[in-house]
Structure 1
Amino acid sequence: MTTHTAVALRHLAFEDLGTLEPLLRDWGWRIQYRDIGVDTVEDLFDSPPDLLVVLGGPIGAFDDHLYPYLKTELALISERLRQRQPLLGVCLGAQLLARALGGRVGAMPEKEIGFAPLQLTSAGRASPLTALEDIPVLHWHGDRIQLPATVPSLATTAPCPTQAFAVGRHALGLQFHIEADPARLERWLIGHTLELSGAGIDLEQLRRDAAEHGGALTRAARRLMTQWRDQWEQQP
């Protein structure tokens, strides 16, 4: 039996696949991490994995002048889109995916950090995002996406009209986090302490919300990922 491989592009050590990692292992998949700015990714052009996951991070999707390796990352995303190969973008990963599609990314008036449910659009209700309906997800971003007119938003919140989008059955962008492990939330709180302090986030409330909603979000994320996988495995 052929073993499938998922490669995750990681921008911060603690922003990893989180709760999605045991799911992929349950599928029998092999998992690799590439730390952007440290590890090479050029080989992924010639030897593409079955699934590429581009994870989050605090840098901007258009910060090439500061982090030139973003250009290689963007080229890899564009090539997977061209080849119709499965691709999941989370937070920064979704912003890079939007950029590859010709979209824009800009700063929000205020950061969106904390647990809150999504409002699914009509397109979202016809997608695997139905698994997240009425489930508070973890928002943690200060930029928002403006998609090209040809790409519909699948979900919204009041501060951010584009929370999710898809390209065909093979590419999915999520501005929010379904993968953050509530058992490891303290790594996020320590790693992002300056951002949290500057945004005036109540850490105790964030801890309480993670404890309350983390289990349901983990289960919903598994349903979403399984439904999405079933879609792209069936594509021509």
Structure 2
Amino acid sequence: MTEAPASVIVIDDDPAIREALGSLLRSVGFDVKLLASVGDFFNSGRPAGPTCLVLDVRLPGQSGLDFQRQLSQANMQLPIVFITGHGDIPMSVQAMKEGAVEFLTKPFRDQDLLDAVYVGLERDRVWLENEQALETLRARFDSLTAREREVMASVVSGRLNKQIAGDLGVSEITVKVHRSQVMQKMRAASLPELARMADKLKLPLCKPPRHV
């Protein structure tokens, strides 16, 4: 599959600044979307490929910092490069604490903005790759039967085949068959790899039953 092109979204209520930033970003090959407000962003959504947001701090209706918090609360991953003509240290510290890539005060050098955008795009590219890998893992896990999921949870918890057989009330041979199916369906080459997959999926560890 061909990777979707890198995109930069500029949100600034000043048309002249929007156009200037658009020309700069297009000159180095980025797909660029120019927006005047946060509302315009929600109407258009984020592109499919790696994306970086160049965001003015002061915007009509909702500030850039408020928008940053809103994205975080919605668990929407989007690297942000803040630009402002009225920045101060507390404001920049707050933005960086919330995960901003950079906080640039106007007027800034073109190269400083481009450098920050490249960092943001690489951060988003890695995040998208991890999300795609996790989605693939979830699909594999969903293909397991209920009993295979039980066996997987027990295996990655360190339970031996004999112990799992006793826990589930089945034969040891049955456990071995299920275990083999789990390894095949999850495409795990080893037990440590299967355990790493379980960790990424945040599967709960299996607690052995209590015998009274």
Under TM normalisation by the shorter chain, which class is it? 0.3 to 0.5
Which protein has the bigger strand share? 1
Higher relative contact order (CA 8 A, sep 6+): 1
Question: TM-score if structure 1 supplies the norm length?
Answer: 0.38
